[in-house]
Amino acid sequence: MEKMYLNMHPENPEGRKIEHVVEALKKGEIIIYPTDSVYAFGCDINNKAAIEKMAKLKGLKPNKAKFSIICEDMSQVSNYVKPIDRSVFKVMNKAFPGPYTFILNASTNVPKLFDNKSKDIGVRIPNHNISIEIVKALG
């Protein structure tokens, strides 16, 4: 595993650097990236080997690990959670983007991604351009 450090402008991250990060994520690498609250570990949720690496890094068994998903916007959140009621949606809409993680009922997509029987998932929409640009570029 190659280690590197990329310094990015927090308000306007450079596209070529974001693409470099996305290439590493697609290869199953783990990244440490800034959010609006703390630095976080991240991986591509569509890469099973990367999820296993992340669990190992945290000292967890992959099928027991509880991870959060960083999303670009509320429409992306809906891909990973069961339908939420209007009052919860209103609270999330006021809180996001921001330094909050909501633990919600997971959709059927989540157990397939994480190879576990998780009934809930943490979702975040950080108020940090680097985080959001990585998610956008990764798709």
Q: Residue 111: what pLDDT?
A: 65
Helices (H), the chain: 15-26, 48-57, 74-77, 86-95, 109-114, 129-138
Residues contacting residue 23 through CB under 8 Å, at least 6 positions apart = none
Q: Residue 63: what pLDDT?
A: 78
Tens-digit pLDDT profile for the chain (139 aa)? 567 788 898 889 999 999 999 999 999 999 999 999 989 999 999 898 999 999 999 898 877 888 899 999 999 999 999 999 999 999 999 999 999 999 999 998 876 777 777 789 999 999 999 999 999 999 8
Q: Residue 108: what pLDDT?
A: 85
Question: How many C-beta atoms surround the C-beta of residue 39 within 10 A?
Answer: 10
Q: Residue 67: what pLDDT?
A: 87
Q: Residue 110: what pLDDT?
A: 79
